Structure 1
Amino acid sequence: MEGKDNASVRETGDRPQTYSSPAIIERRRRILEETRKVIAEQGIAALSMNEIGQRAGVAKRTLYNAFQTRERMIAAAIQEYFDDFVSRISYSSEPGTLQHNLERMISVVQRNRKIRNYIRAIMSLYFSSDVDHDIWAAMHSPAMHHNRQWISALEAKRHLQPWVKVDSLVDDIVRFEYATINDWAQDRIPDDEIIVRLVSGYLSCMLGSLRGAARKEVDALIKDIGERGMEALPVPRKLREQKEAA
């Protein structure tokens, strides 16, 4: 079986390979799912290739053929989980809008509440001084992409202040977003406050970079959140339907 695996999964440079057959795709899914489970149960420091191989039912050599390193396996598990979740959010607004970005943030926080141990583990790693670059990038890059959609749209409409550099602003906003989520994961922000604290802080950070109609929109929303709390925030379609059904 191992020889067959090696023939099916060829090295392509020094990066993880692309999978195509249903059997290999399923095996990859199983490996990454077990990796996430171990992160949630034991943290990343205790994670070993031997244990993942045993839990996923594959040879240790197969793991190295597929991912090259333990760190790349962890990075793939984190990034694919995030990407898959975000791709399944049922949005009520168009991509590249403030409302769309807030729906993403709110949906992610709602999901995070169900997997607190996992979020605590990956946030602790994200802010660690010796985190592997591949793992850090796997957490940082997806949030950069989703925030850039809105901020690039603002730039195209000339709603950013002239001194603002898009990449730097996106980078700073992601760091703020993750710092707030980390404080929640470490029990420094209560569950019932995290969404309002995250969104209002995020918008306050953005406000100084905006001008024109976008600044007026964000300023009005911050004031509305201050008055009405969660009721002022956009609700993703699925969450709204669940609320209406209840």
Structure 2
Amino acid sequence: MTDPLEPWMEELIQGNEAGAEHKMTEKQARIFEAAIEIFAEKGYAGSSTSEIAQRAGVAEGTIFRHYKTKKDLLISIVTPAMVRMLAPFVIREFREVLKTDYDRFDQFLRALIENRILFLQQNRSLFKIIVQEIPFHPDLQHQFQKLVFAQVKVHFEKVVDKFKAEGKMVDLPTMTILRLSASTIIGYILARSIVSDKESSTWDDELEREATINFIMKGLAP
């Protein structure tokens, strides 16, 4: 665990927003960091508390003094990250994107993607854990729905309804447009994070980004 901490990890370890009394102990911080690394590398199902303890340099029993189960450890990582990092980021940055009056939906998509790339680069482990684990944990799905998706939906609807009213977009239900757009963009982001790391010489990010946006625009053309 020698790599620099990602911003969200440092924020939660230090407990800056929750008050100094919530700052983790040295052992808790090592457990927290080790769990994030292993969950991101192997997924929740492929990880074990013994492996986490070994990487953290603590006895396995120490983990269970702080967290009743491996699932509690996962929840203790993802939920506060969504509450204090991901949800505020989504709300704040969507407001910034929406301040601009876009003439076309592709301009909005381009601004949205560029706005998110830096955050994802700085918080890769958080993104990997959320993408890997949310489909398999209903409690995390509920938290994501309440804290993140609900905020995205409200802001996205305003933009989509504007373009539909102007006749610049196919008249599909807004949720369908959100699903189609989001799934395509997430596919680009996943490929970018996986392929570009291993085959940087073959990955043309600008080309892939524009192809993603053009694909969405053709599908949503009136």
Provide the TM-score with structure 2 as the length reference.
Answer: 0.53
Select 2:137's aligned residue among 126, 132, 136: 132
1:181 is matched with: 189
Note the C-alpha offset of 1:165.
Answer: 0.8
* Aligned match of 1:108: 116
State the alpha-carbon separation in 2 of the partners of residues 144 and 184 from structure 1: 26
Task: For 2:206 and 2:150, locate their aligned partners in 1 and report how far apart those are by CA, in whole Å.
Answer: 19
Q: Which runs of 5+ in 2 are unaligned?
A: 1-16
Which runs of 5 or more structure 1 residues have no equivalent in the other structure?
A: 1-18, 212-246
2:173 to 143, 165, 170: 165
Q: 1:3-14 alignment to 2 at 5 Å?
A: none
Q: 1:183: how far off?
A: 2.5
Number of residue pairs matched by the alignment: 187
The 1:20/1:203 distance shift into structure 2, 3 A limit, reads same
Offset from partner CA, 1:159-181 (integer Å, 9 cap, x none): 46574111222122222222222
**In structure 2, distance between residues paired with 1:206 and 1:152:** 18
Aligned to 1:82: 86
Identity %: 10
Kindly indicate whether the alpha-carbon contact (under 8 Å) linking 2:39 and 2:47 is maintained by their aligned counterparts in 1.
yes
Q: RMSD across aligned C-alpha pairs, in angstroms?
A: 4.9
Structure 1 residues 86, 100: closer, same or farther in 2, change over 3 A? farther
Structure 1 residues 199 and 152: alpha-carbon distance in aligned structure 2, compared to 1, 3 A threshold: farther
Any idea what SS the aligned residue of 2:209 has?
Answer: helix
Give the 3 Å change call, closer, same or farther, for CA 165–88 of structure 1 in structure 2.
closer
Q: Name the CA distance, whole Å, in 1 between partners of 2:209 and 2:136.
A: 24
Residues 1:39 and 2:39 aligned together: yes
Task: State whether structure 2 residue 209 is matched by structure 1 residue 198.
Answer: yes
Q: Alpha-carbon deviation of 1:155?
A: 0.8
Give the corresponding residue for 2:21.
23
Give 1:154's aligned residue.
160
Question: What secondary structure sits across from 2:195 in the alignment?
Answer: coil
Confirm whether residue 69 of structure 1 aligns to residue 67 of structure 2: no
2:78 corresponds to which letter in structure 1? A
Q: Which amino acid aligns with 1:197?
A: E
Distance change in 2, residues 1:162/1:119 (3 Å): closer
> TM-score, normalised to structure 1's length?
0.50
How has the CA–CA distance of structure 1 residues 164 and 93 changed in structure 2, closer, same or farther, with 3 Å as cutoff? Answer: closer
Contact 2:43 2:129 in 1 (8 A): yes
Q: Partners of 1:41 and 1:208 in 2: how far apart? A: 35
